[in-house]
Amino acid sequence: MTDTPSRPSLVGPRTLLAVAVLAVPALLWFLLRDTSPAWMKEARAEVAAACERLAADPHDADARRQRALARENLGDYDAALEDWDGLLAADPEHSADHRGRAWTLYLAERDTEAFRAIDRAVALDDQDPENHVILGKMLLCQAQYPQALEAGRRALALDEEGAGSSVVGQALARLGRDDEALAQLDRAVRVEPWNCFVHTARGEVLFRGGRIHESLDAFDRALEIDPECSEALMGWEMANAASLTAQVFQGATSFLEANR
């Protein structure tokens, strides 16, 4: 009995080597690709651009501000504060830089320094509405709602179309003055459409007023902006439960009426 000759392998060493040569770069690209969200990539690009400008001109204040804000967005608060400190070393009387430093300090949970910095900004320029807006937002986070309302109203008195409506609306909502709050929050969502806290406060006011479907829309918008916003998520869950309960009640009522 003669042996049957074996078939030559279709996948020889050379073929395997060629596949490896082609696959390894693709695998490396897949593993090393930048999966960061768009806002993070944009902030990194802004830092890089500002660094290039500062390399050409170390005294470029606008570039340093751009880098400070981008670093803040990335959560690199220490680096951002270095930029703000550098700006204020060059111009200690620059109100907007004190304001920027105050907000970075607040995000870094250095509250005492933050309030000291924003007080300095307001003292240097009491006519800048943004100083009062930032003060109001910090006071909101501290649950000092009457003081936040005062700061927001001061901002609105200086700029009727500015972000003071955001502070005033949120403060009024927290104080339970819902009719006044809703009017301000309706304005605020046009001024600061990216502010998830404004949409959340608006959702809460609408929910308390029985406007369930509109409140769900507001909470949905807040969660689109920040999926981890706990207040918006809690509000959405309550509004959704209320909506489902209403649907069940309506269905049961219709069934009973149809079977009388």
pTM of the model: 0.80
What is the token pair recorded at 186? 């309706």
**How far is 197 from 231, CA to CA, in rounded Å?**
8
> Do residues 134 and 104 touch, judged by C-beta distance below 8 A?
no
**How far is 60 from 212, CA to CA, in rounded Å?**
51
Domains and CATH numbers, the chain: 39-120 (1.25.40.10), 126-192 (1.25.40.10), 196-255 (1.25.40)
**How far is 188 from 172, CA to CA, in rounded Å?**
13
Burial of 2 (0-12, 13-18, 19+ CB in 10 A): exposed
- Written as tens digits, the pLDDT of the chain (260 aa) is 555 555 555 555 666 566 556 666 666 655 665 566 787 899 999 999 999 999 999 999 999 999 999 999 999 999 999 999 999 999 999 999 999 999 999 999 999 999 999 999 999 999 999 999 999 999 999 999 999 999 999 999 999 999 999 999 999 999 999 999 999 999 999 999 999 999 999 999 999 999 999 999 999 999 999 999 999 999 999 999 998 887 776 776 666 677 76
Burial of 13 (0-12, 13-18, 19+ CB in 10 A): exposed
**How far is 9 from 16, CA to CA, in rounded Å?**
11
